[in-house]
Amino acid sequence: MYRYAGLRRRLKLGHYPELDLENARKKARNALNEVEDGNDPAQQKKDKLAEALRERLEAKTFAELSARYIEEYAKPNKRTWQEDVRILDKHLLPEFGRLNVKDITRSHIRLYLRQMALKTRVHSNRIHATIRKMFNWAMNEEIIELESNPAAGITRPGGKERPKERTLTDGEIKTLWGALEKMSPQIRDVLRLILLTGQRPGEVMGMRWDEIDFEEALWTLPGSRTKNGISNVVPLSPQAIRIIERHAQEEEEQRQRREKRSHDASTSMFVFPNIKLKKHDEPVVHVRKATGRIWRATGIASFSAHDLRRTCATRLGQMEIPGHVIARILNHKQMDITSMIYNKYQYLKEKREALDAWGARLVRIVSNLELVESQDTGA
């Protein structure tokens, strides 16, 4: 016990018997000498412990910082955290991974982003946004001490992006549908369901069995999985529900086969599990490469999975479906006061009629769509 600045203070010296009486007395004398010199030994001890903890936690390299960013920020807060992982693994870690974060300069980042923009203009903007966000987070959390964010103050490397307008024609839809027969069942049916339902690619890829009501032909997307945080009930057209039913049947057949072999008979929570993983406890991931293979092989003008969502919305508009119904199918946030606060009607009937009509029209566009129905019957 001692007094410092008029206050009574307590300093813990250690634990007995690890610290014996003789050494405890020595520590006490040293502490009292510090007080005589105008220092507070208890506060000094706290400062040393805090500094040691800070040195232990502080990310030294870009790779260490990125790992903390994914685990501590991206996963808990971003529905698209897997895209951050992909950008880091494929682009940023090979360039900056081994560097100390304090040695990464703005000029280095700017030069790298310019080189990336020559290869992929739009994607270079995504890379820039990821590294800028990671440094902002690390500085705000006081994980790293920098005078400024080295990724800030850099002009968007890919320039201003124009809103995408790509939709597929009837002929392109028919070609695409046939080409999908050569793809894996997961990729094939993810792309088909995006076109049939108009939902976001990430939402379809992450579809879970407990979200599907087979009796009512409904897919309930919880707010935790949607871009805007608002849940969405999606009526499933006959074509869409058959695709999902086929996967359910195949999943059950695989479970029975594993059970007969005395293997683990548990099934995945995902309708489209990543079959490359042994436990299948993650959904199938990015379909970008698959769409690229399709339009290169078929001669279709380049398109993305999101363009299928836009195609669905555009066709619904051509079918004179009211805009507010299309917006609710797409789960776009309603910005007017009436819709946001007062009108809580879900338009489920109208959404079902619209998607059923679109499914029927898709049957007419794609002459071999009956393959989905025939496979369901074992043909």
Reported as a single tens digit per residue, the pLDDT across 200-230 is 999 999 999 999 999 999 999 998 888 888 8
Please give the torsion angle defined by the CA atoms of residues 93, 98, 103 and 109, in that order, rounded to the nearest 10 degrees: -20
The DSSP letter of residue 342 is: I
Q: Cβ distance 88 to 66 under 8 Å?
A: yes
Architecture of domain 170-376: Orthogonal Bundle (1.10)
pTM (global) more than 0.85: no
Which of helix, strand or coil describes residue 2?
A: strand
Domain 62-140 superfamily per CATH: Tyrosine recombinase, N-terminal domain (1.10.150.130)
The DSSP letter of residue 79 is: T
Residue 155: what residue type?
Answer: T
Q: If we measure between CA atoms, which residue out of 217, 175, 210, 187 comes closest to residue 355?
A: 217
For the ranges 17-21, 175-179, 240-244, 336-340, which has the lowest average pLDDT? Answer: 336-340
- For residue 260, pLDDT over 90 is answered with no
Q: According to CATH, where is 1.10.150.130 located in the chain?
A: 62-140
Q: According to CATH, where is 1.10.443.10 located in the chain?
A: 170-376
Reported as a single tens digit per residue, the pLDDT across 49-105 is 777 666 655 558 999 999 999 999 999 988 778 889 999 999 999 999 999 998 999
pLDDT of residue 378: 40
Q: If we measure between CA atoms, which residue out of 341, 307, 311 comes closest to residue 326?
A: 311
Rounded Cα distance between 41 and 10, Å, is: 9
pLDDT of residue 195: 96
pLDDT of residue 145: 82
136: burial class by Cβ within 10 Å (0-12, 13-18, 19+)? middle
Reported as a single tens digit per residue, the pLDDT across 143-170 is 888 889 999 999 888 887 666 788 999 9
For the ranges 30-34, 66-70, 220-224, 256-260, which has the lowest average pLDDT? Answer: 256-260
